[in-house]
Amino acid sequence: MNPVNYLYLAALLFTIGAAGVLVRRNAIVLFMCVELMLNASNLALVTFSRLHGNLDGQILAFFTMVVAAAEVVVGLAIIVSIFRTRHSASVDDSNLMKL
Amino acid sequence: MSDVHSLWMAAAGGGTASIPAPQIEYGQLSPMLIVFGAAVLGILAEAFLPRRLRWGTQVTLALAGLAAAFVAVLVLANDGYGTTKSGLIAMGSVALDGPALFLQGVILLAGVLAVLLYAERRLDPRVDGVPLDAFTAQGAAAPGGEQEKQAAKAGFASTEVYPLTLFAIGGMLLFPAANDLLTMFVALEVFSLPLYLLCALARRRRLLSQEAAVKYFLLGSFASAFFLFGSALLYGYAGSFRLPDIHDVIAGTAPATPALASSTQNDVLLLVGLAMVAVGLFFKVGAVPFHSWTPDVYQGAPTPVTGFMAAATKVAAFGALLRLFYVAFPGLRWDWRPVMWAVAILTMVVGAILAVTQQDVKRLLAYSSIAHAGFILTGVIASNRQGVGAVLFYLLAYTFVTLGAFAVVTLVRDSKGEATHLSSWAGLGRRSPLLAAVFALFLLSFAGIPLTAGFTGKFAVFQAAAAGGATPLVIIGVLSSAVAAFFYIRVIVLMFFSDPQPNGPAVAIPSAFTSTAISLGVIATVGLGVLPQYFLDLASKAAMFSGH
């Protein structure tokens, strides 16, 4: 199978993730969409790595996984602490600061 | 297909026994290593020291680590790195050149000032004999809940803010020195993640603080996902993450491979990749249209953290932006300059105009920082060596003025903590003339009035932009400076020429920590305005990126 198809899949996943961040309202779902974008990047990196015949892209894919794990730790800590206060994870409720 | 297969076989067969160990120049990496080492020691102190010893240990450790790292930067600069010799270290993934060293020095100074502000514990009256700082007793406790009350009663303190800040500073030191997109991405996350947490840790108005953190986190990780996908596309175009290699592929001087022959036909990969990486960086510098997080996060975060973020993040992100555009993409100048023009114009105009309508000091300073990002972008667009030097100098001046201004904001307080609403600042000049005069000095410097650091910086970037053929941009920059000057002057008029409110805020008497930070800010603001020549020379000497 032509590896370029994986690039189209990666672009599609990235777009779904980005659209999800823009339209969804629950902080956890937003966060999952960001993770989807990171995974789309990983798929693109691995595919390009194969196309170019060097391993750099796969190495960055590993780094991305570690970074994503660290991001989960920080992000869930923040979202859970705000959920405990407001009993809601909807980002529409976070509107104390307005222009 | 077959070449990948042979690569795989080579790695599996001959490579395993003899992978050469990478060469790491520990001495030349020492600024970052010292800061990260101090951060790790801070974590250990947090885990093993009894609670009463932690605050003193953490403050000492943080200040000592930052001072040692600053000395390391000076030693490297004295050895001629950055001016006469420069080079790539850690297998080419970190650049040791003038802009990197200069900005590392600026970030470390910003870190010292920020730690001084963190350590202030005299602004709030003691509760049960426990001194209070700007941070919550226990970040995990729900605001207003029973657990929070117990934590406050037991005298807990969030001393983990010091190691978190050191980790953030370590990432910021690496960010402008990163010579490949992988290192840049890791540095971006290393300095962003602690900042998200720091935003959530305010003692007062914790709901605002948590809201700021969740906004910053979601938008920040969204932006870094863009950065990462952009890096993937650039890798797809050039077959390498290293900025000089990307430059070579664009210039057509890279050794040809079959994969490159097809990927370099595809300009979409290059242009979309560049755009997405730039989005990630524009978000960090707070350029319009990627600025929407700035006012909310600046308002909600604890004020010492806001000052640190406003100064140091901007320095690090502009360093990375400069390196990206000057090392990897000078060959594409005619493609990126029009877009950068649009971003710079929008940033200056939107920042200056929206600031006029603000009623909160921290939000006002946030919009002012957006406008300043626009002014600095004009220096980036200049795409000449003069522009790099001007941006370096501007960042140095901006750091001290910003931290000084936010330090003043921490001092104006009423019974509910900091009084940030502008109306409560009315008549401050009558009640505490010294503090109001200091704040007026910082505002005049933001506005770019002669004999202040802000004027020298603005003059330098506009001069460079004009020399680089961006005269219309300079005209728009001067006009929006005039708009910006209006609202700075408005605050000064409010402080000095209106009557104080009957139960308005009082000015807290700070300890030596905040006084030192404000004094350093004042000295730098006046010094860089009156006698800027030494630092201008230093910045222009440092304005040379190392390519290969």
Model confidence pLDDT, tens digit, residues B494-547: 999 988 888 788 888 899 999 999 999 999 999 999 999 999 999 999 998 886
The predicted structure's pLDDT at residue B369:
96
Separation of first and last alpha carbons in chain A: 52
The predicted structure's pLDDT at residue B17:
62
| Interface membership of A55 toward B (CB under 8 Å) | yes
| Bridge partner list, B130 | B127
Mean predicted lDDT score pLDDT of chain B: 91
In chain B, residues with a C-beta closer than 8 Å to the C-beta of A37 are 222, 225-226, 228-229
Tens of pLDDT, residues B131-144: 888 898 888 888 88
The predicted structure's pLDDT at residue B2:
45
> Cα(A73)–Cα(A67) distance, rounded to whole angstroms?
10
| Interface membership of A60 toward B (CB under 8 Å) | yes
Tens of pLDDT, residues B392-416: 999 999 999 999 999 999 999 988 8
Chain position carrying tokens 């901007």: B314
> What b-and-e string marks burial along A78-99, b requiring 16 or more CB atoms within 10 Å of the CB?
bbebbbebeeebebeebeebee
Asked if residue B483 has pLDDT above 50, the reply is: yes
Nearest CA in chain B to A26: B218
> Cα(B459)–Cα(A67) distance, rounded to whole angstroms?
40
| Interface membership of B313 toward A (CB under 8 Å) | no
Closest CA to B222 of A65, A76, A17: A17
Would you say the C-alpha torsion B247, B250, B251, B257 has a positive or negative sign?
Answer: positive
Residues 6+ positions from B548 with CB-CB distance below 8 Å:
B88, B244
Asked if residue B68 has pLDDT above 70, the reply is: yes
The predicted structure's pLDDT at residue A98:
59
Under the banding of pLDDT at 50, 70 and 90, the label for residue B165 is: very high
Break chain A into its structural domains and give their ranges: 4-87
The distance of Cα B525 from the centroid of its chain, to the nearest Å, equals: 18
Overall average pLDDT of the B272-286 stretch: 95
Helix (H) or strand (E) holding B88: strand B87-89
Tens of pLDDT, residues A72-98: 999 999 999 988 888 887 877 777 775
Asked if residue B149 has pLDDT above 90, the reply is: no
Radius of gyration of chain B (CA): 24
Q: Which of A52, A59, A85 shows the shortest C-beta gap to B207? A: A85
In chain B, residues with a C-beta closer than 8 Å to the C-beta of A84 are 142, 145
**Which segments of B158-264 does DSSP mark as H helices, in order?**
161-174, 181-199, 206-238, 243-251, 258-263
Residue B182, min C-alpha distance to chain A (Å): 6
CB–CB of A40 and B229 under 8 A?
yes
Which class is A4-87 in CATH?
mainly alpha
In chain A, residues with a C-beta closer than 8 Å to the C-beta of B137 are none
Tens of pLDDT, residues B45-66: 999 999 889 999 999 999 999 9
The predicted structure's pLDDT at residue B415:
82
CB–CB of A78 and B193 under 8 A?
no
In chain A, residues with a C-beta closer than 8 Å to the C-beta of B140 are 81
Collapsed DSSP state (helix, strand, coil) of residue A26 = strand
The predicted structure's pLDDT at residue B293:
94
> Cα(B108)–Cα(B68) distance, rounded to whole angstroms?
10
Tens of pLDDT, residues B189-201: 999 999 999 999 9
In chain B, residues with a C-beta closer than 8 Å to the C-beta of A20 are none
CA separation, residue B124 to residues B113, B132, B333, B419 (Å): 20, 6, 52, 13
Touching A: B residues 406-445, CB under 8 Å: none
The predicted structure's pLDDT at residue B315:
97
| Interface membership of A74 toward B (CB under 8 Å) | yes
In chain A, residues with a C-beta closer than 8 Å to the C-beta of B222 are 18, 21, 34, 37
CB–CB of B235 and A74 under 8 A?
no
> Cα(B316)–Cα(B480) distance, rounded to whole angstroms?
25
CB B352 within 8 A of CB B480: yes
> Cα(B306)–Cα(B312) distance, rounded to whole angstroms?
10
**Tokens representing residue B332 in the block:** 């594409």
CB B232 within 8 A of CB A45: yes
Q: What share of chain A is helix, strand, coil (3-state, %, to 5)?
A: 80, 0, 15
CB B504 within 8 A of CB B426: yes
In chain B, residues with a C-beta closer than 8 Å to the C-beta of A44 are 229, 232-233, 236
Asked if residue B75 has pLDDT above 90, the reply is: yes
- Proportion of chain B above pLDDT 90, given as a percent: 72
CB B291 within 8 A of CB B223: no
Asked if residue B374 has pLDDT above 90, the reply is: yes
Separation of first and last alpha carbons in chain B: 31
> Cα(B493)–Cα(B180) distance, rounded to whole angstroms?
48
DSSP annotation of B313 reads I
Under the banding of pLDDT at 50, 70 and 90, the label for residue B154 is: confident
Overall average pLDDT of the B319-334 stretch: 92
CB–CB of A54 and B222 under 8 A?
no
Under the banding of pLDDT at 50, 70 and 90, the label for residue B276 is: very high
Residue B204, phi-psi category: left (phi > 0), alpha (psi -120 to 50), beta (remainder): beta
> Cα(B529)–Cα(B533) distance, rounded to whole angstroms?
9
| Interface membership of A61 toward B (CB under 8 Å) | no
Collapsed DSSP state (helix, strand, coil) of residue B94 = strand
CB–CB of B235 and A97 under 8 A?
no
Collapsed DSSP state (helix, strand, coil) of residue B532 = coil
Q: What DSSP letter does each residue of B95-155 carry, written as one string? A: EESHHHHHHHHHHHHHHHHHHHHHT--SSSPPBTTB---SB-S-TTSPTTSHHHHHHHHTT
> Cα(B456)–Cα(B242) distance, rounded to whole angstroms?
35
The predicted structure's pLDDT at residue A96:
73
Asked if residue B5 has pLDDT above 70, the reply is: no
- The number of C-beta contacts closer than 8 angstroms across A and B is 145
Asked if residue B173 has pLDDT above 80, the reply is: yes
Tens of pLDDT, residues A15-66: 999 999 999 989 999 999 999 999 999 999 999 999 999 999 999 999 999 9
CB–CB of A52 and B185 under 8 A?
no
